[in-house]
């Protein structure tokens, strides 16, 4: 009988051989990329474990499909099932017009407290790239997912609320804000920042990486982004002092995890010019948003960018691009982001052998230049295939020989 994943007190997962995994098909191109990706996962599991393990897929609803069937954009049953199963995967979701929901993706993250958006970025040989040495890119971005601008509070310019806040700031706090301004507040807390940085630290130590970089704009925003940096150094020294060292104290041939920090705009230059010097990035929300997308652009674009959103109990993996409605139903869009996110999911489940097979299949398809239109037009001699055909090409190339 298929079972749900259990989690031990140490947060390690106990994944049964016959496991239930919920999926959200998604809006726009979501159905196309899911139908291309799901057989890839099934084939990898079958090959890796000689048929002894299997994923039993359980569809849960969100987005346009959920609204059409239930009248709700994000049914409570979907959230409850994701909590029960601990691991799920989703396609892109459209933002509802009206209805009081800013973003369905953000709503899922908030409801499940998925505080860490984790984006591994690694170059695949043969992938088209706008930079000369994309093979030097091999980073993982830990982006805080519930605070900063994603929890931002805004007041429209010339609104009653904005004018009241401006009056308060000018009269009570000694500020000089021009009337008629729009205002925004971005909260960044010590607990919220520390749990994200801790997760990044533990990843770096577990995988024996060289460095972790705290990315911030603390030279200007000293009490939010500057605090993020300070809390990161404090956490590393207090809880991981035997295994970490600050960059200023690191020795040549250092064996400990080196903790660095970089100003956000300077870091953007670093990922272009010196990516080999960075392995793990820990960032507030906005910094991680643009840095992870810029890194993805160097290794094939968002169509090949995997990602997952994590709490301490639940992980939801996802295609990291949008719904691309003009391509919906055309069997055209690149399913690579969903396929590689599935590999990330299999790895998280403890099914490393299956994850490796998925990545192997993708690498071989790219090497053979059997790719969707977005990549084929950039590759000399590239063979353009449909979305579904790319999934088939990946499955065919999983065999060890």
DSSP string, 177-210: PPTT--EEE----HHHHHHHHHHHHHHHHHTT-S
Is 4 marked as binding a ligand? Answer: no
Catalytic choice (150, 278, 331, 332): 150
Active site residue 90: no
Cβ–Cβ < 8 Å for 40, 358: yes
Is 42 marked as binding a ligand? Answer: no
Active site residue 217: yes
Is 14 marked as binding a ligand? Answer: no
Neighbour tally for 329: CB within 10 Å: 10
Is 289 marked as binding a ligand? Answer: yes
Active site residue 331: no
Is 17 marked as binding a ligand? Answer: no
In the block, tokens 């230059």 appear at 269
Is 135 marked as binding a ligand? Answer: no
Cβ–Cβ < 8 Å for 261, 200: no
Is 102 marked as binding a ligand? Answer: no
Is 256 marked as binding a ligand? Answer: no
Cβ–Cβ < 8 Å for 171, 143: no
Is 253 marked as binding a ligand? Answer: no
Catalytic choice (17, 167, 265, 368): 265
Distance (Å) of CA 243 to CA 21, 154, 194, 217, 318: 36, 41, 17, 26, 32
Is 49 marked as binding a ligand? Answer: no
Residue 26, helix vs strand vs coil: coil
Catalytic choice (217, 229, 260, 332): 217
Is 321 marked as binding a ligand? Answer: yes
Active site residue 289: yes
- Which distant-in-sequence residues (6+ apart) come within 8 Å of 16 by Cβ? 2, 3, 4, 5
Catalytic choice (230, 289, 331, 374): 289
- Structure-token pair, residue 90: 């989703």
Is 86 marked as binding a ligand? Answer: no
Q: Which residues are catalytic?
A: 150, 217, 265, 289
Q: Could you list the residues known to form a binding site, using ranges.
A: 103, 105, 109, 119, 143, 289, 321-327, 334, 373, 377
Q: Could you list the residues known to form a binding site for D-threo-isocitrate, using ranges.
A: 103, 105, 109, 119, 143
Q: Could you list the residues known to form a binding site for NADP(+), using ranges.
A: 321-327, 334, 373, 377
């Amino acid at each position: 009988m298929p079972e749900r994943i259990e989690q031990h007190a140490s947060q390690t997962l106990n994944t049964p051989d016959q496991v239930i995994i919920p999926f959200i098909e998604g809006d726009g191109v979501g159905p196309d990329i899911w139908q291309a990706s799901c057989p890839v996962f099934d084939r990898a599991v079958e090959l890796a474990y000689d048929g002894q393990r299997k994923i039993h897929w359980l569809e849960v609803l969100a987005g346009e499909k959920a609204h059409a069937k239930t009248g709700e954009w994000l049914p409570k049953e979907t959230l409850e099932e994701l909590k029960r199963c601990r691991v799920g995967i989703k396609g892109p979701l459209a933002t509802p017009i009206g209805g009081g929901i800013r973003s369905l993706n953000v709503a899922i993250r908030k409801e499940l407290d998925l505080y860490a958006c984790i984006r591994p970025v690694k170059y695949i040989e043969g992938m088209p790239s706008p930079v000369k040495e994309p093979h030097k890119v091999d980073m993982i971005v830990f982006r805080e997912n519930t605070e900063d601008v994603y929890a931002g509070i805004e007041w429209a310019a010339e609104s009653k609320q904005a004018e009241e806040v401006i009056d308060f700031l000018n009269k009570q706090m000694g500020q000089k804000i021009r009337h008629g301004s729009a205002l925004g507040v971005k909260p960044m807390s010590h607990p919220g920042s520390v749990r994200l940085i801790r997760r990044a630290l533990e990843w770096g130590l577990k995988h024996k990486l060289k460095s972790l970089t705290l990315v911030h704009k603390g030279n200007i925003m000293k009490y939010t982004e500057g605090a993020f940096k300070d809390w990161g150094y404090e956490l590393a020294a207090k809880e991981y002092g035997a295994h970490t060292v600050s960059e200023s104290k690191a020795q040549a041939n250092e064996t400990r995890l080196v903790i660095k920090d970089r100003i956000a705009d300077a870091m953007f230059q670093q990922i272009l010019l010196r990516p080999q010097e960075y392995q793990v990035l820990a960032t507030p929300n906005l910094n991680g948003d643009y840095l992870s997308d810029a890194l993805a652009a160097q290794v094939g674009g968002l169509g090949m960018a995997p990602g997952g959103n994590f709490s301490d109990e639940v992980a939801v993996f996802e295609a990291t691009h949008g719904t691309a409605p003009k391509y919906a139903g055309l069997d055209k869009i690149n399913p690579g982001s969903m396929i590689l996110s599935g590999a990330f999911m299999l790895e998280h489940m403890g099914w490393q052998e299956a994850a490796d097979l998925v990545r192997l299949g993708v690498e071989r398809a790219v090497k053979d230049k059997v790719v969707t239109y977005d990549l084929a037009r950039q590759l000399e001699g590239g063979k353009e295939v449909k979305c579904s055909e790319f999934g088939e090409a990946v499955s065919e190339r999983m065999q060890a020989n």
